[in-house]
Structure 1
Amino acid sequence: MKILGIDPGSHRLGYAVLQKEKSHIKVLTYGTIEVPPGTKSPVNLIAIRRQLDAILDEYHPDLASVEELFFAKNRTTAAKVYESRGVVLLTLGEHNVPVVEPTASQIKKGTTGSGTADKKGIKSALKLLLGLADLTGHDDSWDAIASAYVGIAMSGSFGKR
Structure 2
Amino acid sequence: MKILGIDPGSHRLGYSVLQKDKSVIRVLTYGTIEVPSGTKSPVNLIAIRRQLDAILDEYHPDLASVEELFFAKNRTTAARVYEARGVVLLTLGEHNIPLVEPTASQIKKGVTGSGTADKKDIKAALKLLLGMENLTGHDDSWDAIASAYVGFAMSSSFRNK
Which TM-score bucket, shorter chain as reference? over 0.9
Partner Cα separation in structure 2 for residue 124 and residue 12 of structure 1: 22
Structure 1 unaligned residues grouped into runs of 5+: none
Q: Is the 8 A contact 1:23 1:160 kept in 2?
A: no
Partner Cα separation in structure 1 for residue 158 and residue 127 of structure 2: 18
Q: What letter is aligned with 1:64? A: A
Q: What letter is aligned with 1:100? A: V
Cα shift at 1:131 = 0.6
Deviation string, structure 1 residues 51-80 (Cα, Å, up to 9, x no partner): 000000000000000000000000000000
Alignment length (residue pairs) = 161
Aligned to 2:78, what secondary structure does the other structure show? helix
Aligned to 1:114, what secondary structure does the other structure show? coil
Instruction: Tell me whether 1:138 sits opposite 2:117 in the alignment.
Output: no
User: Could you tell me which residue of structure 1 aligns to residue 45 of structure 2?
Assistant: 45
User: Could you tell me which residue of structure 1 aligns to residue 111 of structure 2?
Assistant: 111
Partner Cα separation in structure 2 for residue 159 and residue 147 of structure 1: 16
Instruction: Tell me whether 1:156 sits opposite 2:144 in the alignment.
Output: no
Q: Detail structure 1 runs of 4+ shifted over 6 Å in the superposition.
A: none
Deviation string, structure 1 residues 128-155 (Cα, Å, up to 9, x no partner): 0001102000000000000000000001
Structure 2 unaligned residues grouped into runs of 5+: none
Does the C-alpha gap of structure 1 residues 157 and 130 become closer, same or farther in structure 2, counting only changes over 3 Å? farther
Aligned to 1:33, what secondary structure does the other structure show? strand
User: Could you tell me which residue of structure 2 aligns to residue 14 of structure 1?
Assistant: 14
User: Could you tell me which residue of structure 2 aligns to residue 83 of structure 1?
Assistant: 83
Give the structure-2-normalised TM-score. 0.98
Cα shift at 1:157 = 4.4
User: Could you tell me which residue of structure 1 aligns to residue 120 of structure 2?
Assistant: 120
Map of 1:44-83 to 2, 5 A cutoff?
Answer: 44-83=44-83
Partner Cα separation in structure 2 for residue 99 and residue 53 of structure 1: 16
Aligned to 2:140, what secondary structure does the other structure show? helix
Give the structure-1-normalised TM-score. 0.98
Identity of aligned residues (%): 88
RMSD: 0.8
User: Could you tell me which residue of structure 2 aligns to residue 2 of structure 1?
Assistant: 2
Deviation string, structure 1 residues 57-109 (Cα, Å, up to 9, x no partner): 00000000000000000000000000000000000000000010000000000
